[in-house]
Structure 1
Amino acid sequence: MHDGSLKENQLYPSELCTFFCKDYQFGIDILKVHEINKQVILTPVPQAPDCVLGLMNLRGRIVTIVDLAKKLGFLHKNNNKKKAR
């Protein structure tokens, strides 16, 4: 009888690194995640698409940093507006 659990050799990952972007929760196979950085120094890129925040040097490798919300087309909500009563 099948118990519904995923086996190691199946297509789906057994562990996910999850994060939120706006009101959506996303998950990435934990084996695809190299590291998570909170504070990075970004170098601006002239004429880059709006979603590109800049470039960073990660131990000698140049990495493009992207605003996922902009890339996915999520609108940025203005949190300073007062809620209607």
Structure 2
Amino acid sequence: MIGAAQAEKVRIALAETPSEELAAFFVALDRAKKMGLDYEWTAFSDEELAIQAVLSGQMDVGFGTPYAAMQRSKAPIRIIFQISK
């Protein structure tokens, strides 16, 4: 369960148009909500817009594959990814 101190809504920037390829992402969000995570996500049509939303504080975290845009921004951004077989 998510603790009371973490009850703040997490704002997620989705750096691509929602599609069936993102099914695992939405399943994970559903499971997180059942465990008490409050969130809202916004889909951005452009990776640059998603990155700018995170950098400006409008969004808390970004999800997608905007590697080139992140490199161009020269901002202190961390990339988290999963490697699976």
Specify the TM-score bucket, using the shorter chain as the normaliser. Answer: under 0.3
TM-score by length of 2: 0.24
Larger Rg: 1
The answer to which structure, 1 or 2, has the higher relative contact order (CA under 8 A, 6+ apart) is 2
Which is richer in strand? 1
